[in-house]
Amino acid sequence: MNCKITRNAAKVLKLELDKPENEGKLLRVVITHAHGDHAHYGLDLDTPGDNDTVVSTDKGIDVILENGQPMLDGVKIDYLYLPQEGFVITNPSKGNHGDH
């Protein structure tokens, strides 16, 4: 399992993960909707369960990915400021380059 976090996303995520109420939690990428050959993704703060893999990223943020979900392997988390500020999660390794 693999996950990439961009520099912009890492800055925003670290601010959230450093809050006292999030102590002991990790970032989780979830599939909010899947159809055809692509999926839509979301983020949550959680603790890993028995059916999860914790993936270390090069930005020092560990990410929880559910086992048995091939559309989670290779996800990329970015944070854009324009045209609208927010997270953008895609999976370029599966041909998913953004919402439609």
DSSP per residue, 34-68: EETTEEEEEEEEE---TTEEEEE-TTS-EEEEETT
Q: Where are the domains of the chain?
A: 2-88
Instruction: Output the CATH code of domain 2-88.
Output: 2.60.300.12
pTM score, two decimals?
0.91
Q: Is 32 exposed, middle or buried (0-12, 13-18, 19+ CB in 10 A)?
A: exposed
Query: pLDDT tens digit string along 69-91?
Result: 999 999 999 999 998 999 999 99
**pLDDT above 60: residue 8:** yes
Name 49's Cβ contacts closer than 8 Å, sequence gap at least 6.
none
**Cα 88 to Cα 44: distance, rounded to the nearest angstrom:** 14
Share of the chain above pLDDT 70, in %: 95
Q: How many whole angstroms from its chain centre is CA 62?
A: 10
